[in-house]
Amino acid sequence: MSGASQPSPLPVNDPVSNYEKLHRIGEGTYGVVYKARDRTTGEVVALKRVRFDRSRDGVPVTSIRELRVLQACRHPNIVGLKKVVTGSQADSVFLVFEYCEHDLGRLLDTLAGARRGFSMSEVKCLMRQLLEAVAFLHDHWVVHRDIKLSNLLYTHTGHLKLCDFGLARYFAPFVTPMTPNVVTLWYRAPEVLLGSEEYDESIDMWSCGAVLAELVAGEPLFPATSEGECLNMMAALLGAPNERIWPGMSSLPNASKFVFPEQPYNFLRRQLPQLSERGLHLLNCLLTYDPDRRITARQALRHEFFQEKPYPKQPADMPTFPSSHDTSRTGAGAQPRHHHHHHHAG
């Protein structure tokens, strides 16, 4: 290594053979994730193998970006990157993350099957943790770009941790067009659906609104399978956007391809009767068409919704759930009760 190269704040000298792979948890956006145990400490971790597709000079650009972001982002509500380890082949690299038992997507499905969801004080606890993570990212000029329930991991101590920074991008220095095809459709902001290439961190706030609605209702707010269907669902539920409420909308790349129905009414109250007036107000502030008028994460944290009864639970008082082997794509795998269960492939 040349003396000029920057010292890495993460140790890279460890071989991956120091970890015993327990089972495959799933596919992250950019790589396979395993549950593993550190042979020296016995600690259970999530191992994410870094993919080397479409790399420049043998280094995967997305993964390097993810590493830079994760190194900068140390926060109790963000999945911590412990270290980077090398595989047997020269080109294989593994990221070692803290291990979380569940993801909220799968957890909500399980609860729905049991005909229960999160209580309002639990929803507030989860939303507050999500907004803390997002505010921290935005303070550090990072847009997550893929906030969705399955990227929200949940620990047995009641803590929410935001993961999968594969798409995160520093937003301050960039004037280059960003890639429009980011974020799972259900959580995608309208300006992204309309092809905007100059979006900013406010796209994460729309996603937070979709998460809030889903935690309250137990099902996604806009479960669309195409961009057009998603925009139609938004118009049907929130009222159709126009230049008056969203200046500049008509000049977005896909605006001419899409004709909104005449629909001036907002039906969120009918759709989510569980929400108080203040809860509904916060949701409308998050699901605001005009990105410039959308609430910020810091503003949302100060919203009266979090200061009224029922008050947010403390993480320590949050429910715990039995671990299952029905593991998710994100790294929120199962914690087997006994070590001899680790033959499961996940």
pLDDT digits (tens, 9 = 90+) for 105-118: 989 988 888 778 89
Q: 21 among the known binding-site residues?
A: no
pLDDT at 63 over 80: no
- Decide: helix, strand or coil at residue 209: helix
Question: Does 322 map to a domain?
Answer: no
191 and 78 in one domain?
A: no
Euclidean distance between CA atoms 87 and 276, whole angstroms: 52
* Residue 346's pLDDT band (cuts 50, 70, 90): very low
54 and 110 in one domain?
A: no
The CATH number given to whatever domain includes residue 38 is: 3.30.200.20
Q: What is the pLDDT of residues 255-292, one digit of tens each?
A: 999 999 899 999 999 999 999 999 999 999 999 999 99
64 and 124 in one domain?
A: no
- Tell me 6's DSSP state: P
Question: Does 220 map to a domain?
Answer: yes
CA geometry: angle at 232 spanning 266 and 252, to 5°?
Answer: 100
The percent of residues in the chain predicted with pLDDT above 70, rounded, is 77
Provide CB contacts within 8 A for 265, sequence distance 6+. Answer: 239
Provide CB contacts within 8 A for 300, sequence distance 6+. Answer: 131, 205, 208, 282, 285, 286
Provide CB contacts within 8 A for 293, sequence distance 6+. Answer: none
Q: Extract the tokens encoding 132.
A: 């803390």
For residues 222 and 210, is the Cβ–Cβ distance under 8 A? yes
Pairing type for strands 152-154 and 102-103 reads: antiparallel
* Residue that wins the pLDDT comparison between 32 and 16: 16
The catalytic site residues sit at 146
For 1, 2, 63, 70, 181, the CA distances from 5, given in Å and listed in that order, are: 7, 6, 19, 20, 34
* Residue 254's pLDDT band (cuts 50, 70, 90): very high
Q: What is the pLDDT of residues 119-175, one digit of tens each?
A: 999 999 999 999 999 999 999 888 898 899 989 999 999 999 998 765 566 554 444
Question: Does 111 map to a domain?
Answer: yes
Torsion angle of C-alpha atoms 195, 200, 201, 203, degrees rounded to 10: -20
Residue indicated by tokens 């996603």: 207
Euclidean distance between CA atoms 186 and 196, whole angstroms: 17
Euclidean distance between CA atoms 340 and 98, whole angstroms: 22
HEC secondary structure over 249-307: HHHCCCHHHCCCCCCCCCCHHHHCCCCCHHHHHHHHHHCCCCCCCCCCHHHHHCCHHHH
Question: Does 8 map to a domain?
Answer: no
Euclidean distance between CA atoms 143 and 69, whole angstroms: 10
For residues 342 and 325, is the Cβ–Cβ distance under 8 A? no
160 and 27 in one domain?
A: no
88 and 128 in one domain?
A: no
Question: Does 126 map to a domain?
Answer: yes
Euclidean distance between CA atoms 307 and 317, whole angstroms: 18
215 and 178 in one domain?
A: yes
Closest CA to 266 of 286, 246, 240: 240
**Structurally, how many domains does the chain consist of?**
2
185 and 79 in one domain?
A: no
Question: Does 324 map to a domain?
Answer: no
239 and 90 in one domain?
A: no
68 and 209 in one domain?
A: no
The CATH number given to whatever domain includes residue 200 is: 1.10.510.10
Q: What is the pLDDT of residues 301-330, one digit of tens each?
A: 999 999 999 999 999 999 998 875 444 433
Q: Extract the tokens encoding 302.
A: 């100060």
Euclidean distance between CA atoms 191 and 193, whole angstroms: 5
State the angle between helix axes of 120-139 and 202-217 in degrees (0 to 180), rounded to the nearest 10: 170
For 44, 123, 134, 320, the CA distances from 128, given in Å and listed in that order, are: 27, 8, 10, 18
State residue 315's pLDDT score.
97
Residue 78: which domain range? 16-100
- 5: number of Cβ within 10 Å: 7
